[in-house]
Amino acid sequence: MANINVIRGYDTVKAWVYFSTVDNPPNPNGSFAVSSLTDNSDEVEVNLSIVMTNLYYCPVAGGGGASNGINTNPSNRSLAVIVMTTAKVDTEVFTADNAHSVCQNHVAVIGDLA
């Protein structure tokens, strides 16, 4: 078995949020180090209450569930996430047909704090 060395500071989630875009506007149902969500029609911005060192941090996300039942098969949804600033990531949900959609969203941020 390989020996794995973890560098402190890189191994913890700095912020996370759960929200559903079925809610209009979406509200955080649970979060850590997230100040608010901004609903921009097809996109939802996650505003962090912390500041990352630079734009090279890692947002990770997953989502699933349809508007008629958030506990449906997650494979019919795709959640994209991208870094916008040192304190904001942007999310967008698509169906398998590449149409905007709604679903439950889980977003986490990993990286160095400023």
pLDDT tens per residue across span 28-43: 999 999 999 999 888 9
In a domain, 85, yes or no: yes
Quote the number of domains for the chain.
Answer: 1
Residue 72 lies in a domain: yes
Q: C-alpha distances in angstroms, 83 versus 23, 69, 73, 80?
A: 23, 29, 27, 11
Give how far Cα 98 sits from Cα of 20, 27, 36, 38, 53, Å: 19, 24, 27, 22, 33
Query: Is there a domain that residue 9 lies in?
Result: no
User: What is the rounded (10 degree) CA torsion for 63, 67, 70, 71?
Assistant: -110
Q: Is residue 6 part of a domain?
A: no
- Quickly state the pLDDT bin for 1 (edges 50, 70, 90): very low
pTM, two decimals, is: 0.82
Average pLDDT value for residue range 17-38: 91
Chain mean position to CA 24:
17
Question: pLDDT tens across 85-101, in order?
Answer: 999 999 998 877 777 77
> Whole domain around residue 30: which residue ranges?
14-110
